[in-house]
């Protein structure tokens, strides 16, 4: 069975929903406090996918995700390596990483996304929403099919909630070109018809190029600001009754669950191919 590690602790608060997503997707989720990794009780290399959920790590006091990212980058494990060293090996072993909201902020500040230079150095940053307020509502996002993300296969437009105060992705001009040329902008904010959401409120934070999610160049790492783990059932949607009335035969699964099913099935297929080649 696919083993999904879900990291929690110090203000992360969406771990239970993420565990439910993987359970419904047919994987075996394990929620682990980050301290259990720091003290060597948990070895991340024993898992198939690592997940950094949303929340308010360390109260976001120094900028969202900055304190947690620095701990992952500099705190030594019992084996004298950092967790960032372990994550680099995890990726080299062709495993997968998902970061959502606060988790996306970790990935950006750690240099895991977009990682265009393959140096694992921070290339972008996240700033306060243009609105100046915490945005807690539903938006639409469109998948970039050219991103070829295994997480987003078969999805076109997805309604999904956002819950963040610092979700504005800021890119240097050179980096912008690399992201667009390499189709690392895996997910962008849009309106209900799929048109780019250049303005507020369809774009909840003013993110560059309407970017809601970034892949790395390997397509093994995905970070996104919206919360697909909060749309596992049709009944999570605030307008579920009308959706059901408009299409009585619609599935009762939430579209957010498809992201987790996609990656679990992708890993299963990959493992089968590896076994058959032996």
The residue assigned the tokens 């696919």 is 2
101: annotated active-site residue: yes
Percent of the chain with pLDDT over 70: 99
In this prediction the pTM is 0.97
Question: What's the token pair of residue 270?
Answer: 């990959």
14: annotated active-site residue: no
* Contact between residue 135 and residue 163 where contact means Cβ atoms under 8 Å apart: yes
- Choose, from 14, 229, 237, 266, the residue flagged as catalytic: 229
* Contact between residue 10 and residue 54 where contact means Cβ atoms under 8 Å apart: no
Q: What is the pLDDT of residues 116-144, one digit of tens each?
A: 999 999 999 999 999 999 999 999 999 99
Total structural domains within the chain = 1
- CATH number of the domain enclosing 166: 3.40.50.880
- Choose, from 101, 141, 190, 266, the residue flagged as catalytic: 101
Whole-angstrom distance, CA of residue 147 vs CA of residue 218: 11
- Choose, from 164, 227, 237, 266, the residue flagged as catalytic: 227
| Mean pLDDT, range 189-214, rounded to an integer | 97
Q: What is the pLDDT of residues 13-69, one digit of tens each?
A: 999 999 999 999 999 999 999 999 999 999 999 999 999 999 999 887 677 788 999
Q: Which domain holds residue 123?
A: 3-277
| Mean pLDDT, range 204-208, rounded to an integer | 97
Whole-angstrom distance, CA of residue 175 vs CA of residue 236: 36
Which residues are CB-contacts of 212 (< 8 A; sequence separation ≥ 6)? 139, 141, 187, 188, 189, 224, 225, 226
């Amino acid at each position: 069975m696919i083993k999904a590690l879900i990291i929690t602790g110090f203000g992360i608060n969406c771990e239970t929903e993420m565990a439910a997503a993987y359970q419904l997707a047919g994987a075996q989720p394990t929620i682990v406090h980050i301290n259990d990794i720091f003290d060597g009780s948990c070895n991340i290399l024993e898992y198939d996918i690592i997940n950094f959920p949303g929340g308010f790590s360390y109260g976001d006091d120094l900028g969202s995700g900055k304190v947690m990212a620095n701990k992952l980058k500099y705190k030594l494990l019992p084996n004298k390596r950092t967790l960032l060293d372990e994550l680099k090996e995890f990726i080299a072993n062709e495993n997968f990483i998902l970061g959502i909201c606060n988790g996306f902020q970790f990935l950006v500040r750690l240099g895991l996304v977009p990682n265009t230079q393959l140096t694992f150095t921070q290339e972008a940053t996240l700033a306060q929403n243009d609105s100046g307020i915490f945005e807690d509502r539903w938006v639409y996002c469109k998948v970039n099919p050219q991103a070829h993300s295994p997480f987003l296969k078969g999805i076109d437009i997805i309604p999904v909630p956002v819950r963040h105060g610092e979700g504005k992705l800021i890119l240097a001009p050179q980096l912008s070109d690399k992201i667009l040329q390499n189709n690392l902008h895996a997910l962008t904010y849009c309106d209900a018809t799929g048109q780019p959401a250049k303005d507020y409120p369809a774009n909840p934070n003013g993110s560059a190029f309407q970017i809601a999610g970034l892949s790395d160049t390997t397509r093994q790492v995905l970070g996104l600001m919206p919360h697909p783990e909060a749309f596992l059932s049709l009944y999570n949607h605030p307008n579920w009754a009308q959706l059901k009335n408009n299409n009585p035969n619609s599935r009762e699964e939430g579209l957010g669950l498809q992201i987790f099913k996609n990656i679990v099935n992708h890993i299963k297929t990959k493992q089968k191919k590896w076994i058959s080649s032996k």
